[in-house]
Structure 1
Amino acid sequence: MEHSTGAVNWQPHNLAKAPGELLRESLGHVARGSEGAMFFQWRASRAGAGKWHSAMLPHAGTDSRIWREVMELGSALANLGPVASSTVDTDVAVVFDYASGWAAEAPAQPSADLTTFNEVRRWYGALWRAGITADFAPPGGDLSRYRLVLVPALYLVSDADAANLVSYVDSGGTVLVGPYSGIVDENDQVRPGGYPGAFRDLLGVRIEEYHPLLPGEFAKLSGGSAGTVWRELGRSTGAEVLESYVDGPVAGSPAVTRNGRAWYVSTRLDEPSLDRLVGQVCAAAGVTAVLTGAPDGLEAVRRRHPDGTAYLFLINHAGTAATVAGTGTDLLSGAYVAGEVSVPAGGVVVLRDSTEEE
């Protein structure tokens, strides 16, 4: 996984990384499937476009924090050798498709504020805050291993890929679809007959018109949730209506629906509302957090070999130490912990599960 040791050079304001952030980010990538860490660039350029981009060997040389943290990372990766070739434990996939995102960014959309890439980040963020690990998957990929598939924004989708998602639900999977999805085919031609087009029958709703919101406006929902940016005028054709719009030109139209194992949300929920909905759908699908009751800022991800050997990554992004249940050997320090483990502020612990040590 390629990233940077410190500041990049292509943003309006290129902030340096905080102490320890290089290690946390790198091991966070490893926790979620990377087999190592790569950086642009090895030695900081003295001239040209890359001269203000960070490097493993900065302008300051080896007597620098960045160089010491690079060396620390190298030692950590060496200690994590046993993790190589294991896979990430997850029951959730987030559908992501570049072609669909690019198509949705074309000019003359109903709203410039409903963007695919931002929605994908927001929905993934809801999972992260809930402590739930997720893969990214293409719409036409094999989804059979997942209990739950989130489709935050899939404006463009082929018949084959739409059928793949329908088949996944028919086979027992649970899906949550976001607004402005299933609208056009792979040639960017609108599917007639009402939105959400390719997913109309799957979701049991029929939308006839979009009613975008202006910046700063909100849509009140009957269950106490709030929507921003986007609203849809429509009706249920079989889905259970969990929340509806309570005001404006779409009053009474469904905002959150459930059609068996297929859920739909027709607005861009604010963060608290999105967190509640994602939590509700996860519970219905039988998806749980890696660690129950983990404190805010503690990232927990588990990787596993086919023989059952597992490794629990605990990455503390908070400014205070975090203590959670855990037993096993920390591959980074070599220490054995029993019953509970304390992760220092800004620190990382990688436990080899105790069951593999007995």
Structure 2
Amino acid sequence: MRVLGLSSGTSHDGIDAALVEFSVTPGGADLRGRLLHHATTAYEPALRAAIRAALPPGKVRLGDVCGLDTRLGQAFAGAATAVLDAAGPADLVCSHGQTLFHAATGGTLQLGQPAWIAERTGLPVVADVRVRDVAAGGQGAPLAPVLDLMLLAGKKGRWGAVNLGGIANLTVAVPGEATAYDTGPGNALIDAAALAVTGEPYDRGGALAATGTVRTELLDRLLVDPYYARTPPKSTGKELFSPAYLDGAGSYPPADLLATLTELTAVTVAAEIRRHRLDHVVISGGGVHNPTLLDRLTRMAQGATLVRSEDLGLPADAKEAVLFALVGWLTWHGLPGAVPAATGARGPRVVGAITPGAEPLRLPAPLTKVPHKLTME
């Protein structure tokens, strides 16, 4: 079965797409995924500006939200058709959409109306994948452990995974200790500061941070945020780590500010790696392109080996989109798409809502065995 996964993360810079062919191995114990194509479609500047204006602490009218839902749906439809034109047909689309607000158990909102995707592609679309978990008492996040735990199943040693997106999240894949949660900011504050002080959307290659000095008084002030002391399950977003979070930090030289925020991400992620005594950590997300951040993280992780997700057959920039391709496959087969140990839900739930495509909706027969391991090819 070929599933097209679509995602746009907390960095809201564009739409990641991955076309994955899934097959169940003989005996049904394992799942194989073959990445056929992946691409990123950048948001048009006007659309990205509209997203940024709608994110907390911005104030928007209901009409603006409705219009943004439509514009994002059309953008996701365009990204989907571009991949299908380039790489061939699919059986299903799973779209995460663009998160506009995430209040954990208080609700979560992803925009990007899936009807536009279904209409443009003619394919059924799984979307709105977080809300069912929230309704079951969970936080609807993180969803990454759905992929991480299957990808790391059976590995010897204490393995984990970190995704360095706008928000950083950690998955602990140690048998008997499996958990996952957002550790705090990944690139969100770094990107916000870079935009404010340089006009560029991010600190390319961590170059500016590399020339700066970590201001310990600012770092210490940031580290007292209560979020870090909370026990999992926990998730966060730009509702907390927004550009407004940096109010009062504008007096620092740009290089020092970027160096300090890069240190903040490294310190908070490394602390959780050490807490769980991980010896191998698979890293992915936009932060892997920031050598300054990776250098600081490697130094602070105290012996844990950082493994690029490419080494497991999963390009770092494609991981989120592959995750949602997997979630779509699971939903289509009536299997849970969230990990209760990570989200805090009362139990596993099949996630998402299905928008039919051009043909009558025909779901497959239930699987007799549930795959617990995923091998990417």
Which structure is higher in helix share?
2
Fold match (TM-score > 0.5):
no
TM-score by length of 1: 0.31
Specify which structure has the bigger relative contact order, considering alpha-carbon pairs within 8 angstroms and separated by 6 or more residues: 2
TM-score by length of 2: 0.30
